[in-house]
């Protein structure tokens, strides 16, 4: 019996069931449901104001949903938050490194927050930095790094406690095209090597072509959950950008998604 028939691959690493979050009369997240399997790369595509940021705040435990259920590796985010959050790795949209600390010091601080002893943390840090091509920058202040390399440090930090789900919230904001491409390729390779589910939020259509699935979100709702190829075919167009604009009604926010 292989892993798939045994249910190992089919079991979701991340599960959302009819999740709702409102601010007054506005439903920022409106009945969102989907699941992510280990090793799966899912692009969450939506214009500014689609509800992606609110959804990520729910997934990271910063907010509690009004209704619905979120599970990480079978742990309910509301009733069993500690083990659920322990299995999450997060790279936030806004940079969160201490620029006055060295790369290693930043990572050691994070390891301490997760209760990882230094005897374990140090070899993990060395291994992650080596994999990410930053071994020679380990003792540099993070202020000396390029934007792309700072993102790599944040990725190393998110992976230190060996999460099963990795949340990437608009991770390429502010990066040059080469750095954007390198980071995306890195994650696409890594998710299979580590059997980690990756949820990559973006408003850039050119970042979803190689995803296993693309989820289109608009005004708090999920409009599609399919492969990039099927998304394009269903819309009867030739590109993801055209399909996205057709689904979201175009407009200024939609046009930004193609940039």
pLDDT for position 252:
42
- pLDDT of 134: 95
Top CATH class, 35-256: alpha beta
pLDDT per position as a tens digit, 208-228: 999 999 999 999 999 999 999
Torsion sign across C-alpha atoms 157, 158, 160, 161: positive
The predicted-structure confidence for 174-210, as pLDDT tens digits, reads as follows 888 999 999 999 999 999 889 999 999 999 999 999 9
Give the pair of three-digit tokens for residue 14.
Answer: 């991340």
- In the predicted model, is pLDDT for residue 9 greater than 50? no
Model confidence band, residue 10 (pLDDT cutoffs 50, 70, 90)? low
Distance between CA atoms of residues 47 and 179, nearest Å: 22
Average pLDDT over residues 248-258: 51
Closest CA to 52 of 17, 25, 13, 19: 19
Its pTM stands at 0.89
Model confidence at 167: pLDDT above 50? yes
Give residue-wise pLDDT tens across range 65-105.
Answer: 999 999 999 999 999 999 999 999 999 888 889 999 999 99
Q: In the chain, what are the domain boundaries? A: 35-256
Is the pLDDT assigned to residue 32 strictly greater than 90?
yes
Q: Burial letters for 51-84: b for 16+ Cβ neighbours within 10 Å, e otherwise?
A: bbbbbbbbbebeeebeebebbbbebebeeeeeeb
- Whose tokens are 């399909």? That residue is 243
Point out which residues pair with 76 in neighbouring strands. 71
The rounded distance, in Å, linking the Cα atoms of 211 and 95 is 24
Instruction: Pull the structure tokens for residue 46.
Output: 């939506």
Query: Quick check: 201 and 207 in contact, CB under 8 A?
Result: no
């Amino acid at each position: 019996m292989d892993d798939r028939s045994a249910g190992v691959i089919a079991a979701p690493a991340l599960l959302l069931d009819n999740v709702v979050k409102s601010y007054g009369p506005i439903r920022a997240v409106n009945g969102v449901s989907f699941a992510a399997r280990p090793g799966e790369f899912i692009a969450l595509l939506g214009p500014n104001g689609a509800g992606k940021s609110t959804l990520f705040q729910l997934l990271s435990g910063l907010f509690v949903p009004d209704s619905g259920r979120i599970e990480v590796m079978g742990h309910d985010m509301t009733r069993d938050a500690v083990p659920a959050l322990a299995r999450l790795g997060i790279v936030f949209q806004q940079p969160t490194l201490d620029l006055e600390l060295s790369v290693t010091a930043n990572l050691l601080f994070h390891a301490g927050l997760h209760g990882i002893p230094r005897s374990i943390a140090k070899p993990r840090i060395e291994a992650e930095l080596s994999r990410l091509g930053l071994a020679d920058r380990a003792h540099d202040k993070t202020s000396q790094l390029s934007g792309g390399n700072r993102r790599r440090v944040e990725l190393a930090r998110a992976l230190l406690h060996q999460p099963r789900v990795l949340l990437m919230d608009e991770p390429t904001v502010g990066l040059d095209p080469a750095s954007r491409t390198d980071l995306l390729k890195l994650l696409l390779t890594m998710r299979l090597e580590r059997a980690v589910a990756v949820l990559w939020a973006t408003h850039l259509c050119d970042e979803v072509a190689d995803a296993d699935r693309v989820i289109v979100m608009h005004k708090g709702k999920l409009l599609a959950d399919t492969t990039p190829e099927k998304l394009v075919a269903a819309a009867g167009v030739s590109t993801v950008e055209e399909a996205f604009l057709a689904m979201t009604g175009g407009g200024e926010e939609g046009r930004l998604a193609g940039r």
